[in-house]
């Protein structure tokens, strides 16, 4: 899981929790305090307008949460609505009611802003809370009679009005860091497992290659080492050339290329080039990529001819949407091609006057 996905999951859970707290604060406790304090308000319509504005912000947040979408262009408008509702409520608040239950919006507007700014940087959230506090304080100092009791109420009320949303913002920032760290650790663990699996697969491939070569190449090398085979013997030389071509083909099988069959044939042709054989390789048409076992059967005829050719060889690959064939013409004195290991490969050989024609065709059943 990526950092963004992990952070999004935690952020969504915290976003839902914050919305629930905001709805309880604004639409339950706030409405109760507003209704109970109506007798003290000179302009109750202004208070209900502020209440409706906060409710609209929370309703928009609920829709965004359900649709799994963040606030975008409407974020600034929502914050302006929250601060405007705060100013409207404070300006029409009766004298001496600051930070009381009649001042229902003082402890509600902060949560309405919290749902809008929860996913923003911590400094942005802090700036909103400070603005909300300063707006309430300015209203108290300018439009209301300031006494010790009013200041005490404002100060004690600010502890929860400012502190609880701030704590929520801190939790959001910490969870974001934890999510990023957890995702990074999971990614590193996955990379380690992938590297271990790749190393294990590479070891298996090396062991498989050695097993495939040991059946033919090891006896040849052993005979050359103990003197039972003579390097000057033409048969031994042809066997060495054939095994060398098979090794190059085997190494080429692991290369990532667009056309593996042609790629492996080119590697086989290099052995003939080293011997001074003139090799011509041609390809016509397009064909599906054969499996490794099929490619080995198709290249065996060309490999044998190229390894034993005297002076020249021509390899032609002809393919279509449902078949591919490898045709070889070379001046081979002696030739032997093993029987195909796959049932869908057919090999035909004709020889006349020191010239050999071979065709290996694959047509999937």
pLDDT of 282 higher than 80:
yes
Average pLDDT over the chain reads 82
Handedness of CA 78, 76, 156, 106 (dihedral sign): negative
- Other beta carbons less than 10 A from residue 82's beta carbon: 28
Mean pLDDT over residues 159-178, rounded? 74
Q: Per residue in 185-242, pLDDT tens?
A: 777 888 888 888 888 877 787 677 677 677 777 788 888 888 888 888 877 777 787 7
pLDDT of res. 133:
84
pLDDT at 89: 87
Range name among 45-49, 80-84, 120-124, 205-209 with the lowest pLDDT average: 205-209
Question: Which of 51-55, 229-233, 290-294 is predicted with the least confidence, judged by mean pLDDT?
Answer: 229-233
Alpha carbons 233 and 238: distance in angstroms, whole number:
9
Of all residues in the chain, what percent carry a pLDDT higher than 70? Answer: 93
| pLDDT at site 60 | 92
Q: Tell me the β-bridge partners of 318.
A: 284, 325
pLDDT at position 186: 74
Q: Which of the pair, 184 or 79, is modelled with greater confidence? A: 79
Which of 182-186, 240-244, 328-332: highest mean pLDDT?
A: 328-332
Is residue 103 predicted with pLDDT exceeding 90? no
CA distances from 130 to 64, 74, 165 (A): 26, 21, 11
DSSP assignment letter at 43: -
Q: Which of 186, 191, 137 is nearest to 162 (CA)?
A: 137
Quickly state the pLDDT bin for 7 (edges 50, 70, 90). low
**pLDDT for res 333:** 66
Greater confidence, 315 or 122?
315
Question: Regarding predicted confidence, which is higher, 346 or 177?
Answer: 346
Q: CATH 3.30.565.10 region(s) of the chain?
A: 217-362
Tokens of 168: 């929520």
pLDDT at residue 2 tops 60: no
Per the model's pLDDT, the better-predicted residue between 308 and 6 turns out to be: 308
pLDDT at 335: 67
Residue-wise pLDDT for 126-156, tens only, equals 888 888 888 888 877 777 676 777 777 777 7
- pLDDT value, residue 326: 92
Q: Is the pLDDT of residue 184 over 70?
A: yes
**How high is the pLDDT of residue 55?**
92
Residue 95, pLDDT > 60, answer yes
For residue 3, pLDDT over 60 is answered with no
Among left, alpha and beta (phi > 0; psi -120 to 50; other), residue 354 is: left
Residue 170 in this model has a pLDDT that exceeds 80: no
- Could you read off the pLDDT of 348-362 as tens digits, one per residue? 888 777 788 889 999
Q: Which pLDDT belongs to residue 5? A: 63
Task: Please give the residue that has the higher pLDDT: either 119 or 6.
Answer: 119
- Both tokens of 97, joined, read 């009611």
Q: Read off the pTM.
A: 0.48
Contact 107, 161 (CB under 8 A): yes
- 26 torsion bin: left (phi>0), alpha (psi -120 to 50), beta (else): alpha
Domain 217-362: state its class.
alpha beta
Region 60-65 average pLDDT: 90
Per-residue pLDDT averaged across 290-307, rounded?
A: 85
Query: Cα 35 to the chain's mean position, in Å?
Result: 53
Q: What is the pLDDT of residue 6?
A: 61
């Amino acid at each position: 899981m990526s950092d963004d996905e992990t952070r999004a999951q935690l952020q969504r859970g915290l976003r839902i929790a914050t919305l629930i707290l905001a709805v309880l604060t604004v639409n339950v406790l706030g409405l109760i305090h507003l209704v109970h304090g109506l007798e003290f308000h000179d302009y109750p319509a202004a208070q209900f307008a502020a209440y409706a504005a906060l409710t609209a912000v929370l309703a928009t947040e609920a829709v965004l949460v359900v649709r799994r979408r963040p606030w975008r262009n409407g974020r600034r408008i929502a914050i302006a609505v929250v601060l405007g509702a705060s100013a409207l409520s404070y300006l029409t608040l009766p004298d001496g009611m600051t930070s009381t239950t009649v001042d229902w919006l003082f402890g509600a507007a902060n949560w309405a802003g919290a749902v809008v700014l929860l996913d923003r940087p911590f400094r942005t959230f802090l700036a909103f809370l400070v603005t909300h506090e300063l707006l309430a304080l300015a209203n108290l100092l300018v439009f209301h009679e300031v006494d010790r009791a009013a200041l005490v109420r404002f100060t004690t009320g600010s502890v929860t009005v400012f502190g609880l949303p701030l704590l929520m913002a801190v939790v959001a920032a910490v969870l974001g860091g934890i999510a990023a760290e957890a995702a990074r650790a999971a990614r590193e663990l996955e990379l380690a497992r992938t590297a271990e699996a790749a190393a294990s697969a590479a070891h298996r491939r090396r062991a498989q290659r050695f097993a495939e070569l040991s059946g033919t190449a090891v006896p040849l090398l052993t005979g050359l080492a103990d003197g039972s085979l003579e390097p000057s013997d033409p048969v031994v030389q042809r066997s060495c050339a054939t095994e060398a071509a098979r090794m190059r083909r085997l190494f080429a099988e692991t290369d990532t290329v667009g056309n593996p069959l042609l790629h492996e044939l080119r590697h086989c042709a290099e052995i003939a080039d080293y011997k001074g054989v003139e090799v011509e390789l041609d390809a016509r048409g397009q064909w599906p990529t054969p499996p490794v076992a099929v490619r080995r059967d198709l290249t065996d005829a060309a490999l044998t001819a190229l390894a034993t050719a005297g002076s020249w060889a021509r390899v032609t690959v002809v393919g279509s949407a449902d078949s591919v064939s490898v045709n070889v013409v070379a001046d081979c004195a002696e030739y032997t091609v093993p029987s195909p290991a796959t049932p869908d490969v057919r090999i035909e050989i004709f020889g006349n006057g020191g010239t050999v024609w071979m065709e290996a065709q694959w047509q999937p059943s």
